[in-house]
Amino acid sequence: MNDSAPVADIVIVGASLVGAPLALVLASQGWQVVLLDAETGEIAPVPSGAELEMAEQWDDASALQQRCTALSLGTQRWFDRHGLWSAIAGDAAPIFQVSVSHKGYFGATRLHAHELNADAVGYVVNNTHLANGILARLATTTVDHRRGARVVSVAHHQDHVEVAVADGSSVRARLLIAADGVGSVVRESLGIGTTQVDYDQAAVLTMVRLAQHHQNVAYERFTDSGPLALLPRTGSCMNVVDCIEPSEQAAVGELDDAAYLARLQSRFGFRAGRFTEVGPRLIVPLVRIEATSQVAARTVLLGNSARLLHPVGGQGYNLAMRDVEELAERLVNKITGHKQASSDADPGDAQLLSEFVAARQSDQRQVVRFTDTLARSFRGHSAVAGHIRSAALLGLDAITPLRKTFARRTMGLGR
Ligand SMILES: Cc1cc2nc3c(=O)[nH]c(=O)nc-3n(C[C@H](O)[C@H](O)[C@H](O)COP(=O)(O)OP(=O)(O)OC[C@H]3O[C@@H](n4cnc5c(N)ncnc54)[C@H](O)[C@@H]3O)c2cc1C
């Protein structure tokens, strides 16, 4: 590349749920941002929750695109502060109550929105709607969003990084933010290693329709083969993350809809009423993959490129968005301070990056520990252990602040 090629302030690789909103916020504060993504086209729209509710039958394609995320109030408020919530709100289902229980034992802990003096405990959004809402807003900003730009390697120089794209082009910037997912090319190209924990579990991802309205309750139920989560969508539809033992995977995969629905109903019980229909199912293995370092010279890893978590309680995205919030705040302070001093702000400043890492470490460790505990400790068939767990849930129900923290954290809605 020609040495006189311009150097942007910030290049972000990955225009999905983490990279795109960060690009938007940084550009709105005056940073010059280039956003690269390997995907070539617009993300095809998916049926809204209301359309799914009305559909007589779910076809495979639309139902499989129904992957959802539970947003904590913190994440929702961040979107709102940055003018993004109005682009998302139309299809977001509020969670009015959280219910955490343990199969086979008495005891459930519940949390109502009114106990938080909030309209909702959190919101369930469809990932595609979320991405499309953010990208539509992005198109009205100064972000230089390049689609079909597959990054193949990264080279470091003292005052910038250079990102090479498969089409032969390249981008130079003073800060590189990797939001390119779990298989991050940026991470690999920089030689940042990963640690991997295999949970010896798989998750069935699907949707169910109920005979009645779910009343906007989100459920996390701990069973001997792992956690089972039901998140409310529009009307009487719920998203399901059903953790199973790997030894069950082949048999569960073979079940027809009626047999799977019966199995699910027996594991979950009737607290949400009767399940009447199940959508297509996708089975994924469950692992935790973490980068050994979140920063390198002039580089930060965010979202799944930094950390892929077990989906229990849907912690991953909310944690990633707290990273986004912290980094954005530090970068915005940097540019504001430098505008006042009329000097040139360096977004890749090593001190800024190391302070960002230090500020985020405690929250990240707590969430990883919490997720690991939930994924592992409720498994097994020991009745004694089971009673202790139920007692813990009952005990929590009696101790209001602890119960609130437990229920919110369990659903990824904490903070
Ligand atoms: C079953 C399940 C349920 C979940 N539920 C929740 C929940 O309820 N709440 C919650 O907080 N979290 C949840 N999560 C976690 C959440 O899905 C992730 O945190 C989130 O998807 C991370 O997004 P990302 O932008 O980091 O990565 P991705 O969504 O993987 O995006 C990566 C982007 O980078 C692009 N890209 C990749 N490679 C390149 C390249 N070489 N060059 C250019 N572009 C590239 C891709 O095209 C893509 O757009 C769940 C996860 C799972 C598996």
- What atom of ligand 1 comes closest to residue 19's alpha carbon? 25
Say if strands 282-291 and 307-308 run parallel, antiparallel, or are unpaired. Answer: antiparallel
Provide the CA 120 distance to its chain's centre, in angstroms. 19
H-state helical runs in 269-413 = 316-341, 350-377, 383-398, 400-410
- Using CB distances shorter than 6 Å, the residues near ligand 1 are 13-19, 36-39, 69-70, 150-151, 179-181, 185, 203, 205, 241, 303-304, 311, 314-318, 320, 412
pLDDT at residue 401 in the model: 60
pLDDT at residue 12 in the model: 98
pLDDT at residue 327 in the model: 98
Q: What range defines the domain where residue 406 resides?
A: 7-410
Gap from CA of 314 to ligand 1 centroid (Å): 12
How many CB atoms sit inside 10 A of residue 7's CB? 16
Among 11, 17, 241, 371, say which to mutate for ligand 1: greatest number of ligand atoms within 8 Å of CB. Answer: 17
The rounded distance, in Å, linking the Cα atoms of 160 and 297 is: 9
- What atom of ligand 1 comes closest to residue 165's alpha carbon? 42
pLDDT at residue 390 in the model: 46
Among 22, 135, 304, 327, say which to mutate for ligand 1: greatest number of ligand atoms within 8 Å of CB. Answer: 304
Gap from CA of 389 to ligand 1 centroid (Å): 32
pLDDT at residue 360 in the model: 98
Instruction: Tell me whether residue 247 is in a domain.
Output: yes
pLDDT at residue 340 in the model: 61
Gap from CA of 130 to ligand 1 centroid (Å): 12
Residue with CA at minimum distance from ligand 1 atom 53: 311
Instruction: Tell me whether residue 254 is in a domain.
Output: yes
Pair 412, 227: CB distance under 8 Å: no
pLDDT tens string, the chain, 415 residues long: the values are: 456 677 899 999 999 999 999 999 999 999 999 999 999 876 666 666 666 666 666 665 555 556 899 999 899 999 999 999 999 999 899 999 988 887 766 667 788 888 878 899 899 999 988 999 999 999 999 999 999 999 999 999 999 999 999 999 999 999 999 999 999 999 999 999 999 999 999 999 999 999 999 999 999 888 888 889 999 997 789 999 999 998 899 999 999 999 999 999 999 999 999 999 998 898 999 999 999 999 999 999 999 999 999 888 778 999 999 999 999 999 999 888 776 655 589 999 999 999 999 999 999 999 998 888 888 766 654 444 554 454 444 444 444 565 667 666 655 555 6
Instruction: Tell me whether residue 415 is in a domain.
Output: no
We report the CATH number of the domain holding residue 108 as: 3.50.50.60
Residue with CA at minimum distance from ligand 1 atom 11: 317
Instruction: Tell me whether residue 361 is in a domain.
Output: yes
Residue with CA at minimum distance from ligand 1 atom 30: 181
Gap from CA of 16 to ligand 1 centroid (Å): 7
Task: Give residue for tokens 């609130």.
Answer: 404
The structural domain count of the chain equals 1
Instruction: Tell me whether residue 2 is in a domain.
Output: no
Instruction: Tell me whether residue 149 is in a domain.
Output: yes
Task: Give residue for tokens 């990056």.
Answer: 353
pLDDT at residue 4 in the model: 64
